[in-house]
């Protein structure tokens, strides 16, 4: 498919005359450009998926702490979390 697009782009200009070597060079350059654009799109999509996974992980972590679904985490929530996770005698004043 990339070969066909490169050939079509070159064949549109009939007023430019190129040697066979020049034609091949431009054809290879266009293929490289198309390949680079495809690689760019692949990397952009992969980066976007990675960011979405990180957001979901952070969002899920927040929701696991915000059990009352208030949209924020209070000192009392953190105190409860620490006591469940093995915090010994952690007071609200130490957290705040």
Average pLDDT of the segment spanning 40-54: 84
Rounded Cα gap, residues 33 and 23, in angstroms: 15
Rounded Cα gap, residues 30 and 11, in angstroms: 13
Rounded Cα gap, residues 27 and 45, in angstroms: 27
The predicted pLDDT at position 16 comes to 67
- Per-residue DSSP letter, 79: H
Q: What is the pLDDT of residues 4-17, one digit of tens each?
A: 665 665 555 666 67
Q: Where are the domains of the chain?
A: 1-47
Q: Which pLDDT band, with edges at 50, 70 and 90, does 56 fall under? A: confident
Q: Which of 77, 82, 83 has its CA nearest to residue 63? A: 77
Please check whether residue 73 is in contact with residue 66, taking contact to mean a CB–CB distance below 8 angstroms: yes
Out of 13-27, 31-45, 48-62, 79-93, the most confident range is 31-45
């Amino acid at each position: 498919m990339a070969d066909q697009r490169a050939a079509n782009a070159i064949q549109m200009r009939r007023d430019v005359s190129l040697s066979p070597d020049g034609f091949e060079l431009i054809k290879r350059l266009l293929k490289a450009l198309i390949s680079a654009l495809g690689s760019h799109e692949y990397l952009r999509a992969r980066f976007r998926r990675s960011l979405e996974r990180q957001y979901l992980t952070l969002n899920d972590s927040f929701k696991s702490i915000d059990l009352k679904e208030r949209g924020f985490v209070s000192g009392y929530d953190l105190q409860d979390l620490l006591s469940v996770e093995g915090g010994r005698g952690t007071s609200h004043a130490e957290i705040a």
